[in-house]
Amino acid sequence: MVLSGVGDALGYKNGSWEFCRSGERIHAEAKELGGIGGVAVNPKGWMVSDDTVMHIATAEALLTEWSDSDQLYSAIALKYKECMRDMAGRAPGLTCSSKVHMLKPHAKEGWVIPFDRKGGGCGAAMRAAPIGLYFWRPEQLDKLVSVSIESGRMTHHHPTGYLGSLAVALFVSYSVQKRPLREWGAGLLRTLDTAKQYIIQHSPQRDHKEHMDNWTYFEQHWKDYLALRQLTSGKTDAVFEDHDVKSVKERDASTRA
């Protein structure tokens, strides 16, 4: 989590790098600072963004005293609301800030918000790492799935949003388990079946069609990427072609394509 915060502070650079659309400019400025190894990251000159504040909130909620899922989800919702007081200069996303405002931690199922057709951003993923640290054992997979989905859809109630939360939590658990990287993507695809069943069982009937209609985008993009890298089976290491190596400018163009 500390390294994640350092990386966030570097990438955010008080907002100037996160919102800069030119990779070449960012690389040039980093070089002027002496390169990544020459940057002295400190809280005064390099503040963390909303990402770190919210993943700390997730961790704090997990460490509260809770005995059932309802108590845990209420704690997560409360921590998300509280952390919004520490967002000055951290550029929280509109989806996160507006949806957190809707949460009612002390009400019955007050962490539940309506399905959001525009809730497919990365705000759920950015704060999910502590879930993988807490529920890292293979036998805790069902709990990891449920908590990552429910915490994710407190703000990003859309498959592309809350499945991002699941992916981050799952990959962190794999890291703690010391599973080979080649197995991670295939493991995620298998886990998506568990996630789909969870959504069907724990979502209002009226929302089932919305979830299923928007499910394939996330899943298919992962299938395509794993096929590209020959990782579908999870038994071979990733394959990168020579032409995959791009300049900063080419990567920018490829990302926007």
Whether the CB-CB separation of 18 and 11 falls below 8 Å is answered with yes
Spatial CA neighbour of 115 closest among 72, 74, 153, 61: 153
Binding annotation: 49-51
Spatial CB neighbours of 116, under 8 Å, sequence gap ≥ 6: 95, 99, 156, 157, 158, 161
Q: Count other C-beta atoms under 10 Å from residue 135's C-beta.
A: 23
* Strand stretches in the chain, DSSP E: none
- Binding site, annotated residues for Mg(2+): 49-51
Q: Would you give the DSSP letter of residue 79?
A: H
- According to DSSP, residue 121 is labeled S
